[in-house]
Amino acid sequence: MRRVTAVLGALFLTAGVAGCTGEEKPQQQGGPAAKAERTAVAPQRPAPTPAARLGAVSLPAQPGPLVDLVARQVKAAGTVRAQLTTNGGQGSDGVQEQTVVQLRTNASPPEAQLMIVDKDPDEPSTTEAVVSGGVIYTRVDGQEQRPGKPWVRLSRQDASNPELGPFAKLLTSLVDQVERTLGELSADTGLTVVRHGTFKGEPTSETVDGTPTRRYQGTTKTADLKGGDKGVEALTGLGLKEIGWTLWVDDKGLPRKFEAGLATPQGMNVRQSVTYRQWGDPVSITVPPADKVHLIGS
């Protein structure tokens, strides 16, 4: 199930406007001691705006203009807390994975703090990740990578270390994927599928977590999502023809919930749901202490 989950999750949480340039940071000078002391530089960003202070907006009747409006409102709010739940798989209906994230949607590069709990009975795990200043910090099940160092640091600069040999390409690909996903998330909160989809019927009124919303249902052909995204290529490679989805948007133009589902010809059924809360409220995204971080290649 992990392959389908990762693919749908990328589409589910990403959008059509990239927030990162992917440019390399200048090489810093100094020996091993200096390298160990390097930390992510906090990106410049405006202060967040709580949802209560945003004015009401008129929601467009077409998918593309609606996504454009949502993207503007998401950046205006500046922060969000979200929970992504994945259900299903091959012959399974239980919850397989839950991701809780705090995100700054107005930072470039984006900033996020995530906890991913995989409830797969065969491979359960808990992964924590912090993304800040173009640097990724991660630890799995609290295990130490080196004595006293449970965190691993990965950045474009770290991945270019010639001592990594053939692993450098793999690590660079990982950085590319994370930067692209988070950059696009900061711009559109995962509405690529909606942008290229078709509404099914008229929107209806519905309350989500006590907030009045408009509920949009639709479908998107995977063929319409082509454009160089590897996630889309993987989806079509699994034989998927269409993605069904439902989107809830409040009167401020902020998404409150999004659901998407797929079924492969191989009999695998996956449904994902993300709930957005506390738009514009303070978030806590904390880079781990340098003495707790293992540097790849060191």
Rounded CA-CA distance 103/100 in Å is 10
Q: How far is CA 184 from each of CA 21, 148, 176, 231, rounded to the nearest angstrom?
A: 11, 34, 12, 13
Amino acid 190: pLDDT: 54
pLDDT in tens, the chain (298 residues): 444 444 444 444 433 222 322 333 333 334 433 343 344 445 567 789 999 999 999 999 999 999 999 989 998 999 999 988 888 765 555 557 888 889 998 877 778 998 888 887 777 888 888 988 888 898 888 788 788 999 988 887 777 777 777 777 777 776 776 665 555 454 444 578 899 899 999 999 999 999 999 999 999 988 887 764 555 566 677 778 888 999 999 999 999 999 988 777 777 777 888 899 999 999 999 999 999 998 876 6
Amino acid 264: pLDDT: 72
Domain 2-15+50-295 top-level CATH class: mainly beta
Query: Sign of the C-alpha dihedral, residues 151, 152, 156, 160?
Result: positive
Rounded CA-CA distance 97/117 in Å is 6
Give, for 221, the enclosing helix (H) or strand (E).
Answer: strand 211-221
Q: How far is CA 5 from each of CA 53, 68, 140, 198, 258, rounded to the nearest angstrom?
A: 36, 26, 18, 23, 15
Rounded CA-CA distance 180/160 in Å is 18
Burial bucket for residue 5 (CB in 10 Å: 0-12, 13-18, 19+): buried
Tokens of 93: 């209906």
**Beta carbons of 186 and 19 less than 8 angstroms apart:** yes
Chain Cα centroid distance, residue 144: 25
Rounded CA-CA distance 255/241 in Å is 26
Tens-place pLDDT, residues 239-292? 788 889 999 999 999 999 999 887 777 777 778 888 999 999 999 999 999 999
Rounded CA-CA distance 164/51 in Å is 45
Identify whether 60 is preceded by a cis peptide bond (ω within 30 of 0): no
Tokens of 26: 């200048």
Tell me how long the chain is: 298
Tens-place pLDDT, residues 81-115? 998 888 876 555 555 788 888 999 887 777 899 88
Give, for 256, the enclosing helix (H) or strand (E).
Answer: strand 255-263
Amino acid 28: pLDDT: 38
Q: How far is CA 34 from each of CA 37, 133, 154, rounded to the nearest angstrom?
A: 5, 18, 16
Question: pTM score, two decimals?
Answer: 0.79
Tokens of 90: 């091959």
